[in-house]
Amino acid sequence: MKIKPLKIDTNRESVVFIRKNSDFCRAIGSGILPKVELKVGDRSLYAILNTIEEDFLERDEIGLCTYTTKMLGLPAGSEVEVRYPEPVRSVELVRAKVRGEVLGAQDYRYIIRDIIENRYSKVELTAFVVGCSQGAMDRDEIAYLSEAMADLGENLEWGREMVVDKHCIGGVPGNRTTMLAVPIVAAYGLPIPKTSSRAITSPSGTADTMEVLASVDIGRSRMKEIVERENGCLAWGGAFALSPADDIIISVERPLNMDAPGQMIASILSKKKAAGSTHVLLDIPVGDTAKVRSYSKAISLRKLFEYVGGKMGLHVEVILTDGSQPIGRGIGPSLEARDVMSILANEPGAPEDLRKKGVDIAGRIIDFDPSVRGGRGRAIAEEILKSGRALDKMNRIISAQGPKTPTPPGALTKNAEAVKSGRVASIQNHLLAKCAKLAGAPQDQGAGVFCLKKVGDEVKQGEPLFRIHAEQNADLGFAWDYWQRHPEIMEIR
């Protein structure tokens, strides 16, 4: 059949469209719509079949959604063989997991390989996610899943004995410590090739914030050149096929609002292993409105990370940090970038909490170096920041990746004011993040929220608590209305 690309977004699911009166559809008959195999030479791609009765496709044409078009990489009019595929055998392993059975290393490799090859439908993927979430995975199973996800994808090699990295499990707005740690550690001399994600449910990911300053879609060869020259980079992980199954699994987890510990650990560590890291520092913020809400759960998670990391040949250290409120002042790409650069420039009034945490994390990473006496890493990180070497390194990384003219904070603003006098008793992280997203972040780089008060600060009635920034009047209205309906975002006592 002849390919016809269609501008239909199916959210990373391979979907094709064929006329119901085509020869292929008449041959397979009626019933449940099947998956099909698209074959070009030695390459195969599996997709969900949707039949149509409209005439925008000819009987010998197959319509491809944007994701399938990208995966095939063929121009319109190219011919592709369409087959009814054999059943996916690893789905039986998924059924076993749903029943609560323990799977082995080879079982997870079969499942992950079929996921990467797009043999699974969204229904089958959902069954796998739910099976791993509800049927408890033991720690060895988590290691098996992590190793399979790392091995069955692109792997980076650096030819260095030590390659460091860091990761935060998220849940705290404005926590942009990566953009401080990378230039400090790189200026010290340890290689830190950082690949980061864009926002999924937050107002900004590290890649979104870095993109205010520089290009983050830099590709593998350019990334290696930059790291060889500067010891570090801040790139978008989506530009690489590191643990490709992870992105597919996440596309199902997010709508279900599932973040099971086993799959979260596999997601993080598989990408670190595939990125060529040898030593990883993990940050688990703990707080009433963070992802992890109790220290007992955080300690349990730390043990799992360290065990699985050890099984994968990674040196993993986990720190538990305060996740009770936002870190820094800005929430949203441009506002966060401004915070980061003010700290690197040692400007008066730069957010001290973000500065301190960034230096703490950089110091812990420098402590990985066996030549550093125990605990000296933080003092080294502090000196690198104060001396201006970190700012110089960040500017060199920005220049190497491709500098951009930073987008200013959104010009449309409105202050959220205290309804009474007192002290800020608590800040609801998830509600404040939602307000920033409604203002337009991260799609609009200048949108977001700028915190004027933190927990413990005194406030007077009518005094601003935070400022909403937007680039569109409608978004400013949405964010303001959300604040009006949720005054508990900042509780005053």
Tens digits of residue pLDDT in 476-492? 999 999 999 999 999 99
Instruction: Kindly state whether residues 366 and 433 are assigned to the same domain.
Output: no
Which of 42, 62, 83 is at the close of a domain? 83
Instruction: Kindly state whether residues 206 and 277 are assigned to the same domain.
Output: yes
Instruction: Kindly state whether residues 374 and 451 are assigned to the same domain.
Output: no
- Tokens 């935060």, residue? 168
Q: Tell me the pLDDT tens digit for each residue of 292-324.
A: 999 999 999 999 999 999 999 999 999 999 999
- Tokens 């501008």, residue? 7
Domain that holds residue 101: 91-151
Mean pLDDT, residues 140-160: 93
C-alpha distance from residue 259 to each of 120, 146, 201, 254, 263 (Å):
20, 15, 12, 8, 7
pLDDT(280) > 90: yes
Q: If we measure between CA atoms, which residue out of 127, 125, 47, 41 comes closest to residue 84? A: 47
Strand 448-451 versus strand 464-470 pairing type:
antiparallel
Task: Report yes or no on whether pTM surpasses 0.95.
Answer: no
Q: If we measure between CA atoms, which residue out of 483, 478, 476 comes closest to residue 447? A: 476
Q: If we measure between CA atoms, which residue out of 231, 318, 309 comes closest to residue 281? A: 318
Please give the share of the chain, as a percent, with pLDDT higher than 70: 98
The CATH number given to whatever domain includes residue 58 is 2.40.40.20
**Active-site residue numbers?**
259
Number of H helices, E strands in the chain: 18, 18
Instruction: Kindly state whether residues 350 and 442 are assigned to the same domain.
Output: no
Instruction: Kindly state whether residues 214 and 342 are assigned to the same domain.
Output: yes
Q: How far apart are the first and last CA of the chain?
A: 68
Which of 41, 58, 83 is at the close of a domain? 83
Mean pLDDT, residues 235-249: 84
| pLDDT mean across residues, the chain | 93
Q: Tell me the pLDDT tens digit for each residue of 6-44.
A: 999 887 778 999 998 888 888 776 555 578 899 998 888
Mean pLDDT, residues 331-335: 98
- 488 domain residue, yes or no: yes
The CATH number given to whatever domain includes residue 421 is 3.90.1170.30
Please tell me whether the peptide bond between 173 and the residue prior to it is cis, using omega within 30 degrees of 0.
Answer: no
- 202 domain residue, yes or no: yes
Specify the pLDDT at position 208. Answer: 96
- 251 domain residue, yes or no: no
Specify the pLDDT at position 357. Answer: 98
Mean pLDDT, residues 355-378: 96
Please give the full DSSP string across 3-30, using - where no structure is assigned: EEE-----SS--EEEEETTSHHHHHH-S
Indicate the burial class of 160 (C-beta count within 10 angstroms; 0-12, 13-18, 19 or more). Answer: middle
DSSP state of 60: T
Q: Tell me the pLDDT tens digit for each residue of 64-99.
A: 999 899 989 999 999 999 988 888 899 999 999 999
Per the structure, how many domains does the chain have? 4
Specify the pLDDT at position 238. Answer: 78
The CATH number given to whatever domain includes residue 122 is 1.20.970.10
pLDDT(213) > 90: yes
The CATH number given to whatever domain includes residue 366 is 3.40.1030.10
Specify the pLDDT at position 30. Answer: 57
Instruction: Kindly state whether residues 263 and 196 are assigned to the same domain.
Output: yes
- 407 domain residue, yes or no: no
Mean pLDDT, residues 444-465: 97
- 249 domain residue, yes or no: no
Specify the pLDDT at position 247. Answer: 80
Instruction: Kindly state whether residues 320 and 344 are assigned to the same domain.
Output: yes
- 159 domain residue, yes or no: no
Instruction: Kindly state whether residues 78 and 96 are assigned to the same domain.
Output: no
Q: Tell me the pLDDT tens digit for each residue of 245-275.
A: 888 888 787 777 676 788 899 999 999 999 9
Which of 336, 369, 401 is at the close of a domain? 401
Strand 412-417 versus strand 464-470 pairing type:
antiparallel
Specify the pLDDT at position 185. Answer: 98
Specify the pLDDT at position 178. Answer: 97
User: What length does the chain have?
Assistant: 493
Specify the pLDDT at position 140. Answer: 95
Please give the share of the chain, as a percent, with pLDDT higher than 90: 75
- 458 domain residue, yes or no: yes
- Tokens 């601003």, residue? 464
Please give the full DSSP string across 223-282, using - where no structure is assigned: HHHHHHHHSEEEEEGGGS-SSHHHHHHHHHHHHHT---HHHHHHHHHHHHHHTT-SEEEE
DSSP E strand boundaries for 23-179: 35-40, 43-52, 61-64, 81-83, 164-168
Instruction: Kindly state whether residues 234 and 339 are assigned to the same domain.
Output: yes
Mean pLDDT, residues 367-373: 95
C-alpha distance from residue 256 to each of 2, 48, 125, 180, 435 (Å):
36, 21, 12, 33, 21
- 157 domain residue, yes or no: no
Instruction: Kindly state whether residues 379 and 262 are assigned to the same domain.
Output: yes
Q: d(Cα 45, Cα 194) in Å, to the nearest integer?
A: 31
Instruction: Kindly state whether residues 46 and 77 are assigned to the same domain.
Output: yes
Dig out the tokens for 244 from the structure.
């490709």
C-alpha distance from residue 381 to each of 179, 260, 347, 392, 445 (Å):
14, 34, 17, 14, 30
pLDDT classification of 135: cutoffs 50, 70, 90 = low
Q: d(Cα 138, Cα 103) in Å, to the nearest integer?
A: 10
Instruction: Kindly state whether residues 229 and 321 are assigned to the same domain.
Output: yes
Mean pLDDT, residues 41-50: 88
Mean pLDDT, residues 329-338: 98
DSSP state of 292: B
